[in-house]
A and B are shown apart, each in its own frame.
Chain A
Amino acid sequence: MDFTFNEDQVALRDSVSRFLMNEAAPELLREIWETGGGRSRELRAKFAAQGMTGLSVPEAYGGVGLGDIDWALVLEELGYYAIPDSLVDTAYVATTLMCQVDEAAALREQWLPKVADGTARLSIEHPVNPYVADAHLANVVFAFRAGAGGALELHAVPGAGLQRSSLTSIDASRRLAALPQKLNASTRLLAGARAQAMADATLDRASVAVAGRLIGLAQRMLDLSVDHVAQRKQFGKPIGSFQAVKHHLADVMTKIEFARPVFYRAVLALQRDERHRAALVSHAKLACADAAWTAARKGIQVHGASGYTWEVDLQMFMKRAWVLDAAWGDRAFHKARLGEALVRDDAPLGPAATLS
């Protein structure tokens, strides 16, 4: 039993963290949002140069073929720096999907080398999300849709010429669209039970990817708040010396401490495709969302009025936390799913069930 990350995973996290600290400063992210597309080709190229775009891409296509556990710490960093990019959907969730579907062989040939070198972007449509993130720049949109008989199908739809209506999010870094068109039989990859299984696996992987970013966001908001209260003085002393302020931030820390291991456990369940995967993923998503919302609420509270401004960076992280909460299944969805799993006879209940 060893519930820690190995040296390579920690080293990868450290290098990603150093890189993002230098290349993804809040000012730069704000500049990127202001552009219509909201995405930076240069930033994506830098991710590629760092090897981040090839993490899940098999070696044969120019990547390093890593798994879910290797992504865990990277996801936290991507949250911590609020990266406004479809990097996770492209290089992790959709790439893994493509690798698990035999029928996608030709697509892999065509797109995975470009994913690895940072020139291709992939998006995913799923019934749990009413719209698609980053469809506007996607080379391929993987769409899970109900077919004629109601059974789910998986389509790979070329991004070029896609009809879409853009939607504006309160998070200025988001780029959302609804894809209204009917899908053509010619783009269908899978139907029926296998499409459903891939939809479930993709939902879980994407949910875990959101959970990891939410934990990173919570940590960032906590760090910003600690810095603020250590520096800001009122009544002749740092406001961080007031117990009310200390306790707010200690509460955030407590939430994070009891969400992060849940996230790691879910990552493992995903990588090993465990029987209780869905329940563990929902737990992680709920716990991480709760930690991030608490960090946002307490964070703005200890910032005082400055936290309510556009200029102060806290807002970027709060808005991301608020919106990611409901991406890939809102709380009602995940609570319902968890509830169903826990009332079943084979539910992972009681001592000795956690790691079985």
Chain B
Amino acid sequence: MDLDFTSQQQAFRAEVRAWLRDNVPKTPLASYDTREGFEQHRAWEAKLAEGGYSSVIWPKELGGRGSDLIEWLIFEEEYHAVDAPMRVNQNGILLLGPTLMEFGTDEQKARFLPRMARCDDMWAQGWSEPNAGSDMAAIASRAVRDGAEYVLNGQKTWSTRAVFANWLFGLFRSDPQSSRHQGLTYLLVPLDAVGITVRPIRALNGKQAFAEVFFDDVRVSVSNRIGEEGQGWNVAMATAGFERGLLLRSPARFQRTAKRLMELYRRHQQAADRDPSIRDGVLKAWMDSEAYNLASYHTVSRLAKGYRVGAEASTNKIFWSELDLQMHETAMRILGPRAELVDDPEVHDWLEGFLFAQAGPIYAGTNEIQRNIIAERVLGLPKS
């Protein structure tokens, strides 16, 4: 065991730090759930891509740096240490990107990946449907083959930032006789295609964070299909694996929140110490965010030695989403009666974060589903 970074890793850290120092916007951007904020974030992502930081783990020829996951963790530490903006094209970069690299044709890679890295295209994820939430295999939106095209009908929902995005990747049932995991096809759909209606859905905070997407005889080219017809489930599961794992939420993000929580506590310590559970909460935030970081370095070190991450990745999702809730609840306790004031500068980010933390145990596979996966696929317990 050796926890010292190599000189190459140290040099990478220094380079990232210097670049971020020179480039991170000096004033915070507007919320990316507004049109204005979305465009600001998009401009920032384009700048990241110019610096080669859009996704450090992507290969060099696709605009990445060919970093391993240790460098990725280093990048994330530096990124969150300076409170750089939230990432707005994660769906593309983290979910679709790796899928294209694994299953896409050369033509598809060339067509989509560089534009994705630069944020010329913004991607929305189209898995969920009104009757296919936790039970994703119940997808009913149809894709009917007609020559060199598919004709899409049906509805997707909860598609994050589909209001502002211009492309959607999703699963459609191409074999009407099929059921469950069979007969699904993975398609890329331009959101400005004829027959698409995007209806915004307002989230808890009142903003248009996600949308319903309706398909009415929408025609997409067969060249927009990833993998074989009817193989969409396997293709999609590869990205769901990435999502549940480490990449969606790096530990640095939570370490940053735990640090902010400690700062908040210290500013209000006298009042907060009337309730010993507040201090417990602040300490737990530090412990759990450190633990998540250590577990991540442990995992990526094992990956580097050739281990595979399987269903145990589900523990990540449970751990970070519950940590995020706990930290924001503790902040609410410290802020006390002021915690409800949306325009209070000390409150604003905590309150928004508190609302968003409520969604953490729901999106990217609910925590109940994750617990079932751990119990059944890792612990080997019988299915109910």
Listed in ascending order, the chain A residues whose CB lies under 8 Å from chain B are 128-131, 167-171, 174, 176, 233-236, 239, 242-245, 297, 300-301, 304-305, 307-311, 315, 318, 322-323, 326-327, 330-333, 335-336
Q: In the assembly, what is the distance between CA of A129 and CA of B336, in Å?
A: 10
Least Cβ distance of B242 to chain A in Å?
A: 21
**Contact bitstring B5-41, A, C-beta under 8 A = 1, else 0:** 0000000000000000000000000000000000000
Contact A168 B362 (CB under 8 A): no
A contact residues around B384 at 8 Å (CB): 243
Given contacts A300-B358, A305-B363, A326-B336, contact A168 B342 (CB under 8 A): yes
Contact A323 B134 (CB under 8 A): no
Interface residues of B in 115-150 (CB under 8 A from A): 128, 131, 133-135, 138
Contact B358 A169 (CB under 8 A): no
Least Cβ distance of B77 to chain A in Å?
A: 29
Q: In the assembly, what is the distance between CA of A209 and CA of B178, in Å?
A: 57
Given contacts A167-B343, A330-B337, contact A308 B204 (CB under 8 A): yes
Q: In the complex, given contacts A176-B340, A332-B336, what are 13 additional A-B residue pairs having Cβ atoms less than 8 angstroms apart? A: A168-B342, A244-B371, A297-B325, A300-B358, A304-B134, A311-B202, A322-B339, A331-B275, A332-B272, A335-B275, A335-B276, A335-B277, A336-B274
Q: In the assembly, what is the distance between CA of A257 and CA of B340, in Å?
A: 28
B contact residues around A308 at 8 Å (CB): 203-204, 358-359, 362
Q: In the assembly, what is the distance between CA of A317 and CA of B272, in Å?
A: 27
Interface residues of B in 203-247 (CB under 8 A from A): 203-204, 206, 210
Q: In the assembly, what is the distance between CA of A10 and CA of B203, in Å?
A: 38
Instruction: Determine whether B67 belongs to the interface, using a CB cutoff of 8 Å to chain A.
Output: no
Least Cβ distance of B28 to chain A in Å?
A: 19
Contact B133 A169 (CB under 8 A): no
Contact A130 B338 (CB under 8 A): yes
Q: List 29 A-B residue pairs with CB atoms under 8 Å apart, sorted by A's residue number.
A: A168-B342, A170-B342, A176-B341, A234-B135, A234-B138, A235-B135, A242-B368, A245-B368, A301-B362, A304-B133, A305-B359, A308-B204, A308-B359, A309-B203, A309-B204, A310-B204, A315-B204, A323-B339, A323-B340, A326-B339, A327-B337, A330-B333, A332-B272, A332-B274, A332-B333, A332-B336, A333-B274, A333-B336, A335-B275
B contact residues around A131 at 8 Å (CB): 337
Given contacts A308-B358, A309-B202, A309-B204, contact A130 B337 (CB under 8 A): yes
Instruction: Determine whether B152 belongs to the interface, using a CB cutoff of 8 Å to chain A.
Output: no
Least Cβ distance of B279 to chain A in Å?
A: 11
Q: In the complex, what residue of chain A is closest to B132 when comparing beta carbons?
A: A234
Least Cβ distance of B284 to chain A in Å?
A: 16
Q: In the complex, what residue of chain A is closest to B201 when comparing beta carbons?
A: A309
Listed in ascending order, the chain B residues whose CB lies under 8 Å from chain A are 128, 131, 133-135, 138, 157-158, 201-204, 206, 210, 271-272, 274-278, 325, 332-333, 336-344, 351, 355, 358-359, 361-363, 366-368, 371-372, 384
Q: In the assembly, what is the distance between CA of A245 and CA of B134, in Å?
A: 13
Q: In the assembly, what is the distance between CA of A236 and CA of B157, in Å?
A: 19
Q: Which of A170, A235, A322, A331 contacts B134 (CB 8 A)?
A: A235
Q: In the assembly, what is the distance between CA of A129 and CA of B340, in Å?
A: 12
Q: In the assembly, what is the distance between CA of A167 and CA of B339, in Å?
A: 12
A contact residues around B276 at 8 Å (CB): 335
3 shortest interchain CB distances as A-B pairs: A332-B275, A310-B202, A330-B336
Contact A170 B351 (CB under 8 A): yes
Number of residue pairs across A and B with beta carbons under 8 Å? 112
A contact residues around B201 at 8 Å (CB): 309-311
Contact B343 A168 (CB under 8 A): yes
Contact A332 B271 (CB under 8 A): yes
Contact A300 B351 (CB under 8 A): no
B contact residues around A304 at 8 Å (CB): 133-134, 362, 366
B contact residues around A168 at 8 Å (CB): 341-343
Contact B368 A244 (CB under 8 A): yes
Least Cβ distance of A287 to chain B in Å?
A: 15
Q: Which of A170, A236, A244, A335 contacts B274 (CB 8 A)?
A: A335
Contact A310 B206 (CB under 8 A): yes
Q: In the complex, what residue of chain A is closest to B356 when comparing beta carbons?
A: A308
Contact A244 B202 (CB under 8 A): no
A contact residues around B336 at 8 Å (CB): 326, 330, 332-333
Q: In the complex, what residue of chain A is closest to B158 when comparing beta carbons?
A: A305
Q: Which of A243, A244, A305, A336 contacts B128 (CB 8 A)?
A: A305
Q: In the complex, what residue of chain A is closest to B337 when comparing beta carbons?
A: A326
Contact A129 B337 (CB under 8 A): yes
Q: In the assembly, what is the distance between CA of A128 and CA of B337, in Å?
A: 9
Least Cβ distance of A140 to chain B in Å?
A: 23
B contact residues around A176 at 8 Å (CB): 340-341
Least Cβ distance of A170 to chain B in Å?
A: 5
Contact B272 A234 (CB under 8 A): no
Q: In the complex, what residue of chain A is closest to B335 when comparing beta carbons?
A: A326
Contact A301 B361 (CB under 8 A): yes
